[in-house]
């Protein structure tokens, strides 16, 4: 089995973690720090919004169900000022209430279950390693070149 640390990123991210359950927050923090990232933890959406880290973070990982402000509302507020920040939304209710990327504003939605850690690691790696899209070679241009050569 491959160690989490074997897939360390080239440049550590600053990841803002938001969850009102200390155990979930602590577990995710441990996993992400083992991957080589820096983390800032907030035990409520209000704490996250009042912390300067959310203005500088490279990624937000948030729980859905929290008192007063849920994860979807937190995402909406974050994206008002920083629309390009990727977000991972984690919820025990993702399947039952139909949370998805389109409806929540998250880049990825993860269901809380026994596979949550592996899904989180994959999602972070995928979001971190997104390369800018390259413009594909035009088929027409290639076809025109071939016509000129044969003609």
Question: Which residues form the domain of 143?
Answer: 4-150
- For residue range 7-59, list pLDDT tens digits in order: 554 678 999 999 999 999 999 999 999 999 999 999 999 999 998 888 899 99
Could you tell me whether strands 59-63 and 87-91 are parallel, antiparallel, or unpaired per DSSP bridges?
parallel
Q: What are phi and psi of 56, to 5 degrees?
A: -115, -10
Q: Do 107 and 101 meet the contact criterion of CB atoms below 8 Å apart?
A: yes
DSSP-derived secondary structure letter, 85 = -
What CATH number is given to the structural domain containing 39? 3.40.50.2300
Domain count for the chain = 1
pTM of the model: 0.78
Predicted pLDDT at 39? 96
Predicted pLDDT at 2? 43
């Amino acid at each position: 089995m491959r160690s989490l640390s074997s897939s360390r990123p080239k440049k550590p991210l600053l990841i803002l973690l938001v969850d009102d359950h200390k155990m979930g927050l602590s577990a995710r923090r441990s996993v992400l720090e083992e991957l080589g990232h820096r983390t800032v933890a907030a035990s409520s959406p209000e704490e996250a919004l009042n912390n300067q880290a959310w203005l500088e973070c490279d990624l937000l990982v948030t729980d859905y169900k929290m008192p007063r402000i849920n994860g979807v509302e937190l995402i909406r507020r974050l994206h008002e000022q920083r629309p390009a920040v990727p977000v991972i939304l984690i919820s025990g209710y993702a399947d039952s209430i139909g949370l998805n990327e389109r409806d929540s504003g998250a880049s990825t939605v993860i269901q809380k279950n026994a596979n949550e850690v592996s899904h989180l690691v994959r999602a972070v790696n995928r979001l971190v390693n997104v390369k800018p899209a390259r413009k594909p070679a035009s088929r027409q241009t290639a076809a025109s070149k071939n016509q000129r050569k044969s003609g």
